[in-house]
Amino acid sequence: MNPSKAAQISPKTRDALTAAQLYYLQDLTMDAIAHELHTSRSSVSRLLGHARETGLVEIQVRSPLDMPRQLEGDIRAAFGVTAHVVPVPDHTSDVERLDRVALSAARILGGFFDSNMSMGVAWGSTMSALSRHLLSKATHNSTIVQLNGAANPRTTGILYASEILQRFGSAFSATVQQFPVPAVFDDPATKAALWRERSISRVVEMQKTLDVIVFGLGSPFAGVPSHVYIGGYLDDDDFAQLRSTGAVGDIATVFYREDGSTDEIPLNERSSGPGLDVLRGIARRACVVSGESKLQSLRGALAAGLVTDLIVDSGTARKILAAS
Partner DNA sequence: AAACCCGATGCACAAACGTGCAAGGAGTCG
Partner DNA sequence: CGACTCCTTGCACGTTTGTGCATCGGGTTT
What residues line the site for its own copies (CB under 8 A)?
Answer: 6, 8-9, 13, 17-18, 20-22, 24-27, 36, 51, 55-67, 69-70, 86-87, 89, 100, 103-104, 107, 138
Compute the least distance from the CB of residue 240 to its own copies, in Å.
41
- For position 12 contacting DNA by CB under 7 A, the verdict is yes
Binds 12, which of DNA, its own copies, none (CB < 5 to 8 A, cut-off by type)?
DNA
> β-strands 254-257, 247-251: how paired?
antiparallel
Which strand (E) or helix (H) includes residue 199? Answer: helix 198-208
Kindly report the three-state secondary structure assignment for every residue of 117-156: CEEEECCCHHHHHHHHCCCCCCCCCCEEEECCCCECCCCC
Amino acid, res. 227: H
Of the candidates 253, 269, 262, the one whose C-alpha atom is nearest the C-alpha of residue 151 is 253
What string marks each residue from 18 to 47 as x (binds DNA by CB under 7 A) or -? -----x-----xxx-------xxxxx-xx-
245 binds, among its own copies, DNA, none (CB under 5 to 8 A by kind): none
CB of 295 to its own copies, least distance (A): 22
One character per residue 285-304, x = contact with DNA (rule: CB under 7 A): --------------------
Which one of its own copies, DNA, none is in contact with 41 (Cβ closer than 5 to 8 A by kind)? Answer: DNA
Contacts of 248 (CB under 8 A, 6+ apart): 219, 220, 221, 256, 257, 258, 296, 297, 299, 300
Cβ(254)–Cβ(262) under 8 Å? yes
Q: Which of 126, 148, 275, 277 is nearest to 200 (CA)?
A: 148
CB of 47 vs its own copies, minimal distance in Å: 13
What residue 103 binds from its own copies, DNA, none (CB within 5 to 8 A, per partner kind)?
A: its own copies
Q: Nearer Cβ to its own copies, position 52 or 227? A: 52
Phi, psi of 206 (to 5 degrees): -60, -40
Residues forming contacts to DNA in the complex (CB under 7 A) are 12, 23, 29-31, 39-43, 45-46, 48-49
